[in-house]
Amino acid sequence: MVPAADPGYRASDMDRRLTTAALVLGLAAAASPLSIAPADAALVGSSASLSAPVVPAAAPGLTFPPGLQAGLQARLDRLRLKSAIPGISAAILFPDGTVWRGSSGFSNLATKTPVTPETAFAVASVSKTFTAALILALCDEGKLRLGTSVASLLPGLRLDPKITVRQLLDHTSGLRDFFLDARIDKALQGARGRTWTAARSLKYVGKPPYAKPGRSFHYSNTNYLLLGLLAERVDGRPLADQLRTRFFGPLDLAHTYEQIGEQPAGPVAHGYRFAQAGLAAKPIDLSDGTPRMPFTSVVTAAGAAGSVASTPEDLVHWAKALYGGNVLAPMTRVGMLVDVAATGARKATLPYGLGVQSVDIAGRAALGHTGRLLGFRSIVRWLPSEGVAIAVLTNQSRTDPTPIADSLLRLALTPAAAPPPVPVPSAEPVASPVPAY
């Protein structure tokens, strides 16, 4: 579930991207937004006071032109075949509201069931965008404060009292990632149908911590597992119920659901792994015979760090609503991005704010998240200046879908120009001792 490193990032670009994002969000820029980064108080604003969503004006030429549908589908098919990806689904949301949907390959290789735009995939760490939004919404409502000690709200877990809610959100808590414990892969795959509790997952959190709270950035699924517990403690309802009533239902995300507490509304994809290197390697089906993707033990162990399933079309609408709409109060959205500067000062391995990656794609500033779970990889990006969103979901975990998203975007954003060469995504080595969670 650890996100793959996103290409194209330069540390000198950080202030440019933050300033641009803040302006596009339609927020006042009289004072530098960076000035609010260190604050550990609840963010300003109330969701109830918001009016219409803040959406960028459509850039010239970014409507969906005739002929682009076929070009994008042909490129998606070609990229899937070159990378030997079992199944892939993608969507691009244009500023005029038009959505291109493309799918290729199979959701189930044994039955030759094709992927359709309605096929749900495990989105892995893209789930963190929903969890972060939930926590920030609770802050908007005054039910939480970013500077609150997590130990004070979850006293039974014996956490360092200096760890704050903010530090869980931006991965500066110092807590080790339970998915990186050398023993957990055997335990998870040895009984795929077993339901894990958060307490069982937390037993795999290594010691000592990466660092003292607030000292450095270390991406850790433990942080978001705890945020899920925190949301349930503060609100009093299961995570699935909160996500459904706050986001999935109101935004009409018809094929998005939390896998632990909900059932799919349509077809789902099987996840596949490869035991050998090379594109000719035989895919291994990871399904445990239930709709949970990739299988029950991993999904339930991940909790709020990676338990959401969705489709690309739902995710592009989610990206627009989260980063360019009124899901959160305006200053909360700015604070979500401004925190990239705080993690950058703590030697972050990628530009990361409060549940958001701030990176470039197709030569443009973008916001979003990547996801990697055994048998699934995903990417979601929102381009603020263009008012465009893209999501690419795959049912395999060896090949990074970022180059695929990049290639599709370049074609979509410059439809009149000669299409650039199609990059071939590289298959990652499969002999790594670190499991792909």
| Per-residue pLDDT tens digits for 332-384 | 999 999 999 888 888 888 899 999 999 999 999 999 999 999 999 999 999 99
Mean pLDDT confidence for 399-413? 97
Task: List, in sequence order, every beta strand (DSSP E) within 327-422.
Answer: 357-361, 364-373, 376-383, 388-394
pLDDT band per the 50, 70, 90 thresholds, residue 192: very high
When mean pLDDT is compared across 44-48, 190-194, 199-203, 275-279, the lowest value belongs to 44-48
Average pLDDT, the chain: 85
| Per-residue pLDDT tens digits for 104-136 | 999 999 999 999 999 999 999 999 999 999 999
What is the Cα–Cα distance from 69 to 93, expressed in whole angstroms? Answer: 13
| C-alpha separations of 391 from 89, 343, 372 in Å | 8, 25, 14
Is pLDDT above 60 for 20? no
The pLDDT value recorded for residue 27 is: 38
CB 259 within 8 A of CB 296: no
The pLDDT value recorded for residue 414 is: 82
Residue that wins the pLDDT comparison between 412 and 58: 412
| Per-residue pLDDT tens digits for 34-82 | 222 223 333 323 332 222 233 333 344 455 666 899 999 999 999 999 9
First-to-last CA distance in the chain? Answer: 4
| Per-residue pLDDT tens digits for 219-232 | 999 999 999 999 99
The pLDDT value recorded for residue 365 is: 94
Residues 6+ apart with CB under 8 A from 155: none
Closest C-alpha among 68, 74, 63, 102 to residue 417:
68
What is the Cα–Cα distance from 130 to 321, expressed in whole angstroms? Answer: 11
| C-alpha separations of 150 from 155, 199, 230 in Å | 8, 16, 8
Burial of 10 (0-12, 13-18, 19+ CB in 10 A): exposed
Mean pLDDT confidence for 85-108? 97
The pLDDT value recorded for residue 426 is: 53
The pLDDT value recorded for residue 433 is: 35
The rounded radius of gyration (Å) of the Cα atoms in the chain is 20
Is pLDDT above 70 for 325? yes
Q: What domains does the chain contain, in order, with CATH numbers?
A: 11-413 (3.40.710.10)
